[in-house]
Chain A
Amino acid sequence: MNRNFPLFPATLRFLAVLLMVVGTVTGAQAADTREVTSPSGIRFWIVEDYTVPIVTLSFEFKGGANQDPAGKAGLAAVLAAMMDEGAGGMDAAELKAELEARGIEMGFSSGRDALSGGMRVLAEEVQGAFTLLAGILAAPAFEEQALERIRAGFIQRAVRSKTSPRAILANTMRDNLFSRHPYSLGSRGDERTLARITRRDIVEQHQRIMARDNLTIGIVGAIAPQDAARMVDEAFSALPANAALEPVGDVEPVFGFKKHIEFNTPQTTVSIALPGVKRADPDFFAAYLMNHILGGGTFSSRLYDEVREKRGLVYNIGSNLSTLRHSAYLSAGFSTRPDQAGQALDLMLDEIRSMAENGPEAGELEAAKKFVLGAYAINNLDTSAKIADGLVRLQAEALPIDYVEKRPEYINSVTLDDVREIASRLLSVEPAIVTIGPQPVLRDAAAN
């Protein structure tokens, strides 16, 4: 049991949640972002700031779980977990002791569409940290013993997720939304796929994914751009020039299915999915504002007001716009006492129908715009790691360096008609509904 800070809040966001680059920045930091090209030609963005004597690095390689070979789901996740198990002539124990002795925080993780990594280090240790990172990226040991240890932990988690209502529900939803696309697979694999992964697979996937042409880098903190450029070269220039990624097609999710999973739980959990819009879609902001009004706010959304505040049926309820690299959808959900699930679902569907038919009120849209404009700095600029992640996101989305200063125009130009139109387009579709609990919630749901 991990006793550390919980990694993510216990929200109802069952599926991958990605940062949306929306809002605006009024602070000095955004304006201070610089693009630098290293001597070997690697471009990165940097915010130089000496307030706190630390340096934070964030980076991302395009291609994560969506590159897992058939029958080997979980490979990218295992690769990420294996990265710091020995490197550059050090075994796993030596490497971890070295990182600890220098006070370097380093980690790797895999998502659906990218493998990412990050490092946070005291300014006085920054050179040593980049040297260690160079060894890890270029020559990870991938010790067999470490692979077996990590595999055992992954398999244990996979088995545990079979009795987790949330995990079962998320799998069922994904399977049916994205049948036969890589997105339909769990990014952490299952007992069968994890058992098949070999050390050779990991070595090959490392070579295929970690290259220079699919890499984005953000650096924040107490370091001069020219020093950062030199260290970026040291850490990344030995990587292959080009990644060898399998092409991944765009996918339109399938909606309209109704599934119930019989499971003896104290609460019934309900999840629905509807069409979304991709990040590059011109209607993205209209959809984002609409979702905020429907179920995106903390203590202020239509779903929160109707289902929790007025009636006390749930503790958590919300909706979320998910933008993946190759797809998009809108999800919403809650958990409640089994005998109340039908009532809560009806209320949620009523709110969705009403939004589809009438759109928001003018006042609601104004309030949502103000929220989205103000939230960016508050949510994304108060720590170096968030800023560094933001630099990576903007680059990965191929947005210009001054993009955040242009945000207010885009947001303010969204009209009530735009939002009504997108609400009607997305929410008039028959939703996918998956429920898990001791008794069915819908009469016409298929047993899964």
Chain B
Amino acid sequence: MIRQWEVSILSFRIRIAAVCLAVACTLAAFAGASAGTAAGKPEISRFLLANGLEVVVIPDRRAPVVTHMVWYKSGSAEDPRGKSGLAHFLEHLMFKGTRNVPAGEFSGKVAEIGGQENAFTTVDFTAYYQKVSPQALEMVMFYEADRMANLVLTEAVIEPEKNVILEERRSRVDSSPGGILGETVAALLYKHHPYGIPIIGWEHEIKGLALDDAMQFYKQHYRPDNAVLVVAGDVEAQNVLELASRTYGKLPPGEGVVPVNRVVEPEPVAARSAEYFDERVTTPSFERFYLVPSYQTAQPGEAEALDLLASILGGSTTARIYRKLIVEDEIATGAGAWFQGASRGQTRFGLYGRPRGKFTVEDVERAIADVLDDIIENGVSEEELNRQRNALLKSVIFERDSQTTLARLYGTVLSLGGKIEDIHQWPDRIAAVTVEDVNAVARKYLRPQRSVTSYLRPKP
């Protein structure tokens, strides 16, 4: 059981929106740092198999548990135009059996040993994982490698699974006023890039997805040279390498080139806004999103500065927005800022607030704008930068307490095209950020023309 306190007080650094196969996750958020500078850090090993599969091993010998994850460097941004939701559809279909293994056998084997399993799709990648006992590692590697190459789909599974996804869409989007508005906001923020299209797909396009579409996506993207294998937990690196060579290593590299989405979002020129009224909304809320660079697209140091700017603005109860709106002015029940650093393309910096009592969304919007203007005009202080920096660096060590957190961190960074060194050097790069760096990114990126503002309101 994860108690509320344990999760709610963690400070996660990488935020990624994901859609999952089962009941397990909605938004995945991963810490974007690592314990690279601490003494006694875990010995991470990296191997490259001849067929192009990248393998990362993260030992954690404290408990007899292994986390086994395969990450494909393709997500909903690779969905062909007019076939939104295809990457996610395929994620569901990957559980339907292969040339060698009947449907349900893999899940049955995982269940038989009390293991956990799931999969999730994001805009940038698709991941499959199992959490099992160390003795079962070879078994899950055998099955996961098998479904990397031998998936078989029949028409009989297509319709029921599309219906499952339509129900998933009803529960994630239609049942959530914020989810409905969020789809419009993404479309406004990304006028050209496919990040503006929902991961789960538009309803009318989900209905049109066909077996051939899924198989084509599978053949193009599901291949060792487009994948990262991460194994964390009670394992030896050399042993994992041997098992990986015996299973994944037998697969041929893919043919031709993996189709990669290379669309670049043009620079934004006009402030946009969206307003949505829903009878299910009782308290209005305000959010603003700025198009900003990610760790993958930024100039050196800019993403780190954006991370710290988000912390200073509104990442905690000591941050400016919280202190001003919630404690001093008492005009909001919730307010803050965040930066989603993990993204292959241009990403989001967010501000949000929910009015308290008799106050309005406009009051909250104005107060957040005042806090932001003050930073843009006068800059941040050395003292608050150091305070937030230290909090960030201290929290890094906690990641080592969870093999799942580490597996997701390394998998995410490598899937986005980053390197292990990026993770290990992150604390040093955060340490190097100056007041001037933070002020510069605030002035450069938090401009009205880069933003979309969204208002969620009760039905009048």
Known: A298-B111, A378-B115. A103 touches B394 (CB 8 A): yes
B279 at the interface (CB under 8 A from A): yes
Q: How far is the CA of A23 from the CA of B116 in the complex (A)?
A: 14
Minimum CB–CB distance from A32 to chain B (whole Å) comes to 10
- Residues of chain B within 8 A (CB-CB) of A109 are 3-5
Interface of B is mostly: mixed
Minimum CB–CB distance from B184 to chain A (whole Å) comes to 16
Minimum CB–CB distance from B317 to chain A (whole Å) comes to 5
B403 at the interface (CB under 8 A from A): yes
Stretch at the interface among A116-124, A195-203, A439-447: A116-124
Q: Are A116 and B5 in contact (CB under 8 A)?
A: yes
**Interface members, chain A 355-393 (any B CB < 8 Å):** 367, 370-386, 389, 393
Residues of chain B having any CB pair with chain A under 8 Å: 1-10, 12, 15, 22-29, 38-40, 60-65, 67, 95, 104, 107-108, 111-118, 131-133, 159-168, 170-171, 174-175, 178, 233, 279-283, 285, 287, 316-318, 323, 326-327, 330, 333-334, 336, 338, 350, 352, 354, 356-357, 387, 390-391, 394-395, 397-398, 400-404
- Across the interface, name the chain B residue whose C-beta is closest to A123: B397
Shortest beta-carbon contacts, A-B, top 3: A107-B5, A374-B114, A103-B394
Known: A149-B327, A378-B114. A266 touches B401 (CB 8 A): no
Q: Are A152 and B23 in contact (CB under 8 A)?
A: no
- Residues of chain B within 8 A (CB-CB) of A189 are none
Q: How far is the CA of A93 from the CA of B12 in the complex (A)?
A: 22
Known: A27-B64, A165-B175, A383-B402. A116 touches B3 (CB 8 A): yes
What are some 10 contacts across the A-B interface (CB < 8 A)? Answer: A4-B12, A23-B114, A27-B65, A51-B61, A100-B317, A100-B391, A107-B4, A298-B118, A370-B112, A381-B63
- Interface core residue of B61, B170, B174 (most chain A CB under 10 Å): B170
Q: How far is the CA of A148 from the CA of B318 in the complex (A)?
A: 19
Q: Are A367 and B112 in contact (CB under 8 A)?
A: yes
Known: A1-B334, A312-B163. A377 touches B133 (CB 8 A): yes
- C-beta contact mask, A262-306 vs B, less than 8 Å → 1, else 0? 001111000000000000000000000000000001111000000
A180 at the interface (CB under 8 A from B): no
Q: Are B354 and A156 in contact (CB under 8 A)?
A: yes
Q: How far is the CA of A106 from the CA of B4 in the complex (A)?
A: 11
Q: Are B3 and A385 in contact (CB under 8 A)?
A: yes
Q: How far is the CA of A274 from the CA of B159 in the complex (A)?
A: 33
Q: Are A52 and B356 in contact (CB under 8 A)?
A: no
Q: Are B29 and A337 in contact (CB under 8 A)?
A: no
Q: Are B395 and A103 in contact (CB under 8 A)?
A: yes
Q: Are B6 and A53 in contact (CB under 8 A)?
A: no
Of the candidates B4, B40, B168, B404, the one whose C-beta lies within 8 Å of that of A382 is B404
Of the candidates A116, A309, A336, A372, the one whose C-beta lies within 8 Å of that of B167 is A336
Stretch at the interface among A7-15, A234-242, A250-258, A420-428: A7-15
- C-beta contact mask, A96-123 vs B, less than 8 Å → 1, else 0? 1100111101111100000011101010
Q: How far is the CA of A103 from the CA of B396 in the complex (A)?
A: 10
- Residues of chain A within 8 A (CB-CB) of B2 are 7-8, 385-386, 389
Residues of chain A having any CB pair with chain B under 8 Å: 1-12, 17-19, 23, 26-27, 29, 49, 51-54, 56, 58, 92-93, 96-97, 100-103, 105-109, 116-118, 120, 122, 145, 148-149, 152-153, 156, 159-160, 162-165, 264-267, 297-300, 308-316, 318, 335-337, 367, 370-386, 389, 393
- Interface core residue of A100, A267, A314, A382 (most chain B CB under 10 Å): A382
Q: How far is the CA of A371 from the CA of B123 in the complex (A)?
A: 33
Q: Are B163 and A382 in contact (CB under 8 A)?
A: no
Of the candidates A106, A120, A153, A374, the one whose C-beta lies within 8 Å of that of B333 is A153
Q: How far is the CA of A427 from the CA of B387 in the complex (A)?
A: 57
- Residues of chain B within 8 A (CB-CB) of A162 are 282
Q: How far is the CA of A153 from the CA of B326 in the complex (A)?
A: 10
- Residues of chain A within 8 A (CB-CB) of B113 are 370-371, 374
Q: How far is the CA of A164 from the CA of B282 in the complex (A)?
A: 10
Minimum CB–CB distance from A182 to chain B (whole Å) comes to 20
Of the candidates B111, B178, B316, the one whose C-beta lies within 8 Å of that of A100 is B316
- Residues of chain A within 8 A (CB-CB) of B338 are 3
- Residues of chain A within 8 A (CB-CB) of B354 are 1, 156
Of the candidates A298, A375, A377, A385, the one whose C-beta lies within 8 Å of that of B23 is A298
Minimum CB–CB distance from B101 to chain A (whole Å) comes to 14
- Interface core residue of A54, A106, A120, A265 (most chain B CB under 10 Å): A120
- Across the interface, name the chain A residue whose C-beta is closest to B177: A163
- Residues of chain A within 8 A (CB-CB) of B356 are 149, 152-153, 156
- Across the interface, name the chain A residue whose C-beta is closest to B161: A312
Q: How far is the CA of A374 from the CA of B165 in the complex (A)?
A: 31
- Residues of chain B within 8 A (CB-CB) of A19 are 1
- Residues of chain B within 8 A (CB-CB) of A7 are 2, 4, 7-8
Minimum CB–CB distance from B37 to chain A (whole Å) comes to 13
Q: Are B6 and A118 in contact (CB under 8 A)?
A: yes
